[in-house]
Amino acid sequence: MITLVLGGARSGKSAYAESLMPEGGLYIATAEIADGEMIARVQLHLNRRGSKWSTYDAPYDLAEALTLNDRPALVDCLTLWTSNLLLAERAAAFEVDGVIAALQSRAADTILVSNEVGLGIVPDNVLARAFRDQAGIVNQKIAGIADRVVFIAAGLPLVLKGSK
């Protein structure tokens, strides 16, 4: 089963996604740690997850990471992956097709976390608009093939597609 968990910043997306895999699994992290604030965020996630998860860092090559094994996997998050690719002058809106192929060939459950960035105002600069547009396309493509899509607001899940 492929599950996409969407929501805003600090909405509870990651904690909810982790709760869907109580036995743990492969945690595919897309963050690049560039400063102390990101170190603190990563440490918060590591502390919450505990030892039942193994972590694999995939800030760019997400499709490859998804083909490593058939353990249940959680990708956190597509938004950071999209940002990484954009800053590397790679188009996530196109690279997501490889991710979709990898997802569809997996035998184990996969959960993907992503921010819904299209609910706010239109950004005032080209880079921010390009990011918002690519993130929206990535989310639409993954939602299109997902068995289940859940939107999180204030820690509360709203199932948009599939069942709880």
Tens digits of residue pLDDT in 121-151: 889 999 999 999 999 999 999 999 999 999 9
Question: Which residues of the chain fall below pLDDT 70?
Answer: none
What pLDDT sits at residue 32? 85
DSSP state string for 71-112: S-EEEE-HHHHHHHHHHTT--HHHHHHHHHHHHHH-SS-EEE
Position 49 scores a pLDDT of 76
> What is the domain partition of the chain in residue ranges?
2-161
Examine the residue annotation and report whether 126 is marked as an active-site residue of this protein: no
Q: Provide the 3-class DSSP secondary structure of residue 29.
A: strand
Q: What is the pLDDT of residue 48?
A: 77
Q: Quick check: 114 and 139 in contact, CB under 8 A?
A: yes
Predicted pLDDT at 118: 87
Instruction: List the catalytic residue out of 12, 15, 45, 71.
Output: 45
- pLDDT for the residue 46: 75
- For residues 106 and 31, give the distance between their C-alpha atoms in angstroms, rounded to a whole number: 23
pTM here is: 0.93
For domain 2-161, which CATH number applies: 1.10.30.50, 3.40.50.300, 3.20.20.210, 3.40.1160.10? 3.40.50.300
Q: Under a CB-based contact definition with an 8 Å cutoff, are residues 6 and 115 in contact?
A: yes
